[in-house]
A = this chain, B = another copy of it.
C-alpha cells in the first residue's frame, strides 16, 4: 500500500507527538512507522511518520489539512509518497566502481530510485552506462569553461526532472551556485573517514600516517568542500602490508557500499538535515 511520509522538524516541546499522531488518528489513517528524536542539546524535535494512504483521501486533501496543523504547531516539514519514482543523475569522472554499483542496484530495484542518466566530464564511462541502457552525457571541462559546463549540466538535470544528484567519484569541485540549485539533493562520496584526510589523495596520506583502518564518507554537498552533513560512514581494518594501491582497491569496496547506503537512506526519506548533522532513521 502506498505511504505518505512526513519528515518534520521543530522546536522541542510537550504535546507534539500527541498532536501529530492525533491528527492522523482522527482521519482514521494507519501509522506504519513513527520515529522521533529529541535533540536535548539543541532542543529540536524531529519526526519521520509514515502513513498508509486510503482511497478516500487525496494527496491534496491530506497536504492541505496537514498544512493547517503545521502552521499551528510551527513545523518545518516535507511530504513524500512511497512509489513515486525518484530520478537519479550520477556524475562521474573515470572510475567505474561506484557507478556500476548504483547501476546494478537501480536495475535490481533495491536503490529506492532509478538512475535516469549519467553525466561524465570524461567520455570513458559511457560504456558502463550503455550496458544498462542509461543515457550518458559527456560534459567535459577545459580551463575557464567551468561556468558553461555547469550551466550545461544544470540544463540537463532540470530538463530530466532529476530528484537527486550523486557524485560518484566526480573529481571536479562544483561551484556554490551549482550546489545551491539542488540544496540537500546532492550526495558526494569522499574516499576517507572524514574529518580525517580531507582534500586530495587520502589513501596516500593514510598510508603515510600509518593508520590501521581506512574509511569512506557519504555526505550532502555544501559550499564547504568535505564539510557537508554526513549521512553514512564505514571503515575496514588494514595492515602494514597494504600499499597505497592496496588501500585504493580496498577503499573502492568501502566507497561503493557507503555511497549506496546513503543514497538509499535519502531516497527512502530516512534522512533529515539539522545544521551540520543528519538524523538518519535507520531501517
Chain A residues with CB under 8 Å of chain B are 14-15, 17-19, 21-22, 24-25, 28-34, 36-41, 96-97, 100-101, 104, 107-108, 110, 131-132, 193-197, 207-213, 215, 229-235, 237, 239-244, 246, 249, 252-253, 257, 276-280, 282-283
Task: Flag if A230 contacts B208 (CB, 8 Å).
Answer: no
Separation of A18 and B21 alpha carbons in the complex (Å): 5
Q: What's the least CB distance linking A157 to chain B, in Å?
A: 26
Among B14, B40, B100, B278, contact of A210 (Cβ-Cβ < 8 Å): B278
Task: Flag if B243 contacts A41 (CB, 8 Å).
Answer: yes
Among B108, B110, B246, B278, contact of A240 (Cβ-Cβ < 8 Å): B278
The residues of B that contact A196 with a CB separation of less than 8 Å are 193-196
The residues of B that contact A100 with a CB separation of less than 8 Å are 100, 104, 108
Separation of A104 and B140 alpha carbons in the complex (Å): 25
Separation of A15 and B26 alpha carbons in the complex (Å): 9
Number of copies: 4
The residues of B that contact A28 with a CB separation of less than 8 Å are 14
The residues of B that contact A280 with a CB separation of less than 8 Å are 212, 239-240
Q: A264 — nearest CB in chain B belongs to which residue?
A: B249
A24-B32 contact, Cβ under 8 Å, with A110-B249, A132-B131: no
Q: List 22 A-B contacts (CB under 8 A).
A: A14-B29, A17-B25, A18-B18, A33-B38, A96-B107, A97-B104, A100-B100, A100-B104, A110-B249, A131-B132, A194-B196, A195-B197, A195-B211, A209-B230, A209-B276, A210-B230, A211-B230, A211-B233, A212-B231, A237-B237, A240-B277, A257-B257
Task: Flag if B33 contacts A25 (CB, 8 Å).
Answer: no
Separation of A196 and B192 alpha carbons in the complex (Å): 11
The residues of B that contact A25 with a CB separation of less than 8 Å are 14-15, 17-19
The residues of B that contact A246 with a CB separation of less than 8 Å are 283
Separation of A249 and B34 alpha carbons in the complex (Å): 22
The residues of B that contact A34 with a CB separation of less than 8 Å are 17, 36
The residues of B that contact A237 with a CB separation of less than 8 Å are 237
Known: A17-B17, A239-B282. 13 other contacts (CB 8 A): A14-B30, A17-B25, A41-B207, A110-B252, A194-B209, A208-B276, A208-B277, A210-B230, A210-B278, A212-B231, A212-B233, A212-B280, A242-B283
Separation of A28 and B215 alpha carbons in the complex (Å): 40
Task: Flag if B110 contacts A104 (CB, 8 Å).
Answer: no
Separation of A249 and B231 alpha carbons in the complex (Å): 20
Q: A219 — nearest CB in chain B belongs to which residue?
A: B210
Among B131, B210, B283, contact of A277 (Cβ-Cβ < 8 Å): B210
The residues of B that contact A211 with a CB separation of less than 8 Å are 194-195, 230, 233
